[in-house]
Amino acid sequence: MNHNDTICAISTAPGMGAIAVLRLSGPKAFEICDKIFKAAAKGKKIVDQPGNSIHFGRINDGEKDIDEVLVSVFRGPHSFTGENVVEIACHGAPYIQQQILKLLTGSGARLAEPGEFTQRAFLNGKMDLSQAEAVADLIAARSEAARRVALQQMRGGFSDELMNLRDRLLWFISLIELELDFSEEDVEFADRSQLRALVDEIEAHIRKLVNSFSLGNAIKNGIPVAIVGHTNVGKSTLLNALLNEERAIVSDIHGTTRDAIEDVVNLGGFSFRFIDTAGIRETADKIESIGINITYNKIKQASIVLLLLDAGDSDEKLHKAVEHIKSLIDSNSQQLLVVINKCDLSDTDTIVRRFALSEFSELSGSDGLVAISAKYRQNLDKLIAELLKTVDTRAIDSDEVIVTNVRHHEALSLALNSLLRVKGGLEQGISGDFLAQDIREVLHHIGSITGQISTDEILGNIFRNFCIGK
């Protein structure tokens, strides 16, 4: 990309709407706009207007008017990209948008590459790399929780924490490297006990960020919930009830579902990715057996395992099913929610007495249990409440930093490994030059998140996933 060019793009979503916005950024943004814009006030030129001002007029191709528009003027560096920026708000007909875009490119601008506006904002120091990535996350947010996490990161909360950690380590490495300049005098400028305390503090902080990724990834991509159980217990009926549509085939025939069916639904501000799986049973059918194996794989991948049981089954069958699923999940990282279905076929007193949590010795205090009727949508609100209990909302409510980006998680994990080497080196009393090397690695990995250390390859991978116009 040539960052001295003036770029343009349609910044609103494709299709027809009431209005659309075209964005122009670069050194000749004002001059190019003046070639096609005729202000309502006679003689007014965009190039002469102050920043943060809006002007009414017409877009004209030299022969006829294309549309009446509002032109917003932003003078660099006080703009999104840090350059001179013009935003043209026109009527939303796709034909009008394309005609204006054609006039802009014919007047000296070129079409922007995906993410090029945000990339220029990064290169011009308007935001760091993690904030730029948060812009894409905010655009793609599918739930209130995802929006809040992305907005908090875009405002620099994550960057501020990393910068603080990096600055404190930089102070110590400067002292250690000063020691190397006076190696013959055998002096020690960096207090090793203070460095050890700092390393312990930073290790705890980075470890917390690394561990937050499981929650952050679930918030960003949807919390995976595997709906499992025997055949014909109502798994597909429950999925349809939660989605409010006939997404999965429902039949009295055992083994109808032979593959995993996934869909996402927003509940209480969080996205849950429900996975309807093949019923678990002994079968000689090869295709159904493949589906059952997929079920076991989905159980391993799920954050929440929703075990659906039939209220009409015997106590022995119910307890065996709970015991079997408990043996398959990791109680430290996965949540089990037992759901008794078809409770419309039993009276209320029987349900309360028979399906109390205390009646299932296989379940622990962290497991959940709720009785419903998926067919008649009874107690679905209680099921949703149990699902929301499994989400740790405290971190979101307190605006704690939550890592949602795979690249950030990888960099933090590498920084943590390097930090552990620093810690081991301090315990072994190794020389300052080896300590300095390990600290440099920590700084490198932290700096790669914010873009203080970056390569063209990293930038290309990040910004090519943006939409054009952003």
Residue list, annotated binding site: 23, 87, 126, 232-237, 251-257, 276-279, 470
Question: Taking Cα atoms as reference points, which of 251, 321, 303, 308 lies closest to residue 277?
Answer: 308
Of the candidates 127, 110, 209, the one whose C-alpha atom is nearest the C-alpha of residue 165 is 209
Beta-bridge partners for 224? 273
Stated as kind and residue range, the H or E segment containing 306 is strand 304-310
Q: For residues 140 and 220, give the distance between their C-alpha atoms in angstroms, rounded to a whole number.
A: 9
Q: Give the residue ranges of the annotated binding site for Mg(2+).
A: 236, 257
Q: How far apart are the C-alpha atoms of 20 and 380, rounded to whole Å?
A: 41
Distance CA 40, CA 30 (A): 17
Q: Which residues pair with 134 in a beta bridge?
A: none
User: What is the C-alpha to C-alpha distance for residues 348 and 353, in angstroms, rounded to an integer?
Assistant: 9
148: β partners: none
Q: How far apart are CA 119 and CA 444, in angstroms?
A: 21
User: Binding site for K(+): which residues?
Assistant: 232, 251, 253, 256
**Residues forming the annotated binding site for (6S)-5-formyl-5,6,7,8-tetrahydrofolate?**
23, 87, 126, 470
In this structure, the chain runs to a length of 470
Question: Given strand 85-92, what is the order of strands in its sheet?
Answer: 37-39, 53-60, 65-74, 85-92, 17-25, 7-10, 110-111
| DSSP-derived secondary structure for 400-420 | ------HHHHHHHHHHHHHHH
Peptide bond connecting 27 to the previous residue in cis, omega within 30 degrees of 0:
no
Task: Identify the three-state secondary structure at position 58.
Answer: strand
The phi and psi torsions of 270 (rounded to 5 degrees) equal -125, 145
In three-state secondary structure terms, 43 is coil
231 contacts 281 by C-beta, under 8 angstroms: yes
Q: Cite the annotated binding site for GTP by residue number.
A: 232-237, 251-257, 276-279
Nearest Cα neighbor of 401 from 211, 132, 266 is 211
Give the dihedral sign, CA 401/225/246/347: negative
Sign of CA dihedral 90, 93, 95, 97: positive
CB 403 within 8 A of CB 210: yes
Q: What angle do CA 332, 333, 336 make, to 5 degrees?
A: 90
Does the bond joining 77 to the residue before it have cis omega, within 30 degrees of 0?
yes
Give the phi and the psi of residue 244 in degrees, each rounded to 5.
65, 35
CA distances from 280 to 143, 283, 288, 304 (A): 32, 9, 9, 17
